[in-house]
Structure formats: structure tokens, C-alpha cells
Amino acid sequence: MSRVKNKAYSMLGLAMRARKLVSGEFATEKAVKEGSAYVVIVAGDASGNTKKQFQNTCTFYQVPYFAYGTKEELGHAIGKEYRASLAVTDEGFAKSIIKILEEI
């Protein structure tokens, strides 16, 4: 795993510990619709339907969207079981994470 990839996962872990991240399909969708999500990350191995749904929702609500990592990697990064989707609810964390993801 590259250093940049590790950096993205450690930022997600920090955001989780700071309680600035929600995970799971319902919580992620709720955060986007309430306007509290600054970036949404969906696992690359999530179902096509899940990816499409979040892509459409994020486009509509103008929230940056990334397909990144696997469900296992995302879950591990935030200290949980498999996670197909998560939303960062803090602007500072989101900007850092977006910058890292755009480098990859």
C-alpha cells in the first residue's frame, strides 16, 4: 500500500475518532440530504446500485463523491466492520481527504 493511500485511511480514522464521520448507507445518505456531508466515499467493491445511488445523490446535493478502496479497507480504517459508504461531516477533514484522494 502506498504512503498516499495510508494517509487517506489515517485521515478517515482521525475523522472517525473526532466524531466527524458517519458510515453506513442510511447515515451517509442522511448526512448528504441534511447538508452535513462535505465528502462521500463509497467502496470500489460496493454494488453498482449503491455506487450509482450515491453518485446521483451527491451530484444532486453538490457533494464531492469518490469511489475508493474496498469495503474491508474502509471499515478497517475507521475501526468497524465492512463499510460500503461513509461521509465526512467536517469541512477541514473533508478538504484534507479530498486533496489526498485527488493525488491518487
For residue 88, report the phi and psi dihedrals to the nearest 5 degrees.
Answer: -95, 125
Range of the domain at 65: 3-103
- What is the domain-level CATH number for residue 26? 3.30.1330.30
Tens digit of each residue's pLDDT (9 = 90 or more) over 9-67 = 999 999 999 999 999 999 999 999 999 999 999 999 999 999 999 999 999 999 999 99
- Total domains in the chain come to 1
Place of cell 447515515: 27
CA distances from 91 to 81, 96, 100 (A): 25, 9, 14
- H or E, element range at 89: none
CA distance 59 to 53: 10
The model carries a pTM of 0.96
